Structure 1
Amino acid sequence: MPTLLVAAPTPLSGKTTVAVACARALAKSGTNVSLERAGDDANADSDRRLFSSLGSPSGDSKIVEVPAGDLSAALREHDGARVLVVATPGTAAEASALAQSVGEALAGVVLNRARRSDAGADYEGVTELAVIPEDSQLAAPSLDAVAEALKAEAENFAEDDPRSLGRLVIASIAADPGQDYFDRTRAESVIVRSDKPDLQLAAINAGAQCLIVTGGLPVLSYVLERVAEDETPFLRTELDTKAAVEAVEGLYGATAFSADADRLSHLDELFVDADLSALFATAG
């Protein structure tokens, strides 16, 4: 079966993102693709669960995400496979070396989290197949990862919920700007103090898709009733607002890729110009 290995020189380079993007783009062009995750490194189990929910169980071709680093074992196991290397602005030199090491098996390089100045980076003659720009929606952590980092009591979402943290807005602590503030800032997720019930309700009324309440004080019953009625993901943490923001900020780009419908649609848009027609041309 034609096989493509998705590799990177370092962990958290975006291999899972690229594997999913390739599979979806190829499927839209008529190529039935299965997704697999090799290895037992960090995030392997969560990636397997993700792939099983997205990929065809038996495709005409196969995309395999392999652990970061040396590809010798993976190439021995998947004889004849081609290799797609994922680079980031900080790993260009290492990605070039990895790409050169696989010789004729190389399909090309995808530059992930690219800044505008990174487009067209030099990979010593290696074909750059696609550029995925730096994007907060793709880098956003899952709700489950946020709850864990905040040691939060979580309601209205399950442990394996694929949803990720939307556009994050911090509620004002100096004044009550009301619903208009959250409307103007297009807030999708809101961090708000536990002693600010009016702000909590304003965020819910503005359509916030997640409410993170800090400070550990009791939340008023009418807020809890609205949260339950709207089934809004709700996280209560003992951390103060500053500590909560710092904890959440550290998760961006540092957690496993999660795939809710909005994120997948956004990924398709970012990957729309990638020419992947030749990825499996000489594989098998």
Structure 2
Amino acid sequence: MRPRRIRQSILITVLSLIALVGIAPYLFMLLTSFKNNAEYYKSYFAIPKPFHWENYLLAWRQISDYFLNSLIVAVASIIGVLVLGAISSFVMARYEFPAKRFLYWMIIALMSVPGITTLIPLFILIKNMGLIDHRLSLILPYIATGQIMSIFLMRTFFENLPEEVFEAATIDGANGFRLFWNLAIPLSKPIISTIAMISFLGVWNDYVWPSVVIASNQLRTITIGLAFFQGEFLTEWGQLFAGYVIASIPLLIVFAFGMRYFVSGLTGGVVK
């Protein structure tokens, strides 16, 4: 066997093992979601016999409100992040104004600040605004914190768009809004999809912030709802893991349909 084929075989084997390690927890979760407690305690890794499909129906009855809350918060947050981030990034990329670079680097410097250090100041701000135990206490902070990554990625992408296209549109009489809406946005679908996916992932999986500002059961998000899914004395593990599977479905759908845009969005600003 040629040395090149040997290296390829070793590489494929190593990558396959890494992929198996990465997917093993999800397979365990999926198998457990079809078990009852007796089967779960008998063998963690055995294939359930029979498959208890009713676990998903019972789990959905418990977490449907939490699922809807997370969906509302995620969609509203993503829209806010994309709208404000796109406008800010376009202005920073295509217009000159005083202290432009200083403002940009100050925004980028916020990426080095650990999110946990802003927890108390942000809580005090939300409390003073009277938004504790309200959906806006989730949506507004997510929009604000999402601007940092949004501006960082979109500004670079807007700067690398062909200047000739904007010059031609300007000669034809296009104003600033038309340059933004009719040129920049259609050409920026990959980076917009990338930011939307990153924002959705962060909002959907967040546990700490919702647990701090949300107290009402009807406003809890999916992560908090699943934490309260466990009983005080008895936990139905099959139903709990079915809830985990249901909660992961939106993430799988988003990545399945958006992975192509995600990869091209992250690499779009590499080569000018």
- TM-score (normalised: structure 1): 0.28
- TM-score (normalised: structure 2): 0.29
Q: Which structure's relative contact order is higher, taking Cα pairs within 8 Å and 6+ residues apart?
A: 2
Q: Specify which structure has the higher proportion of strand.
A: 1
Larger radius of gyration: 2
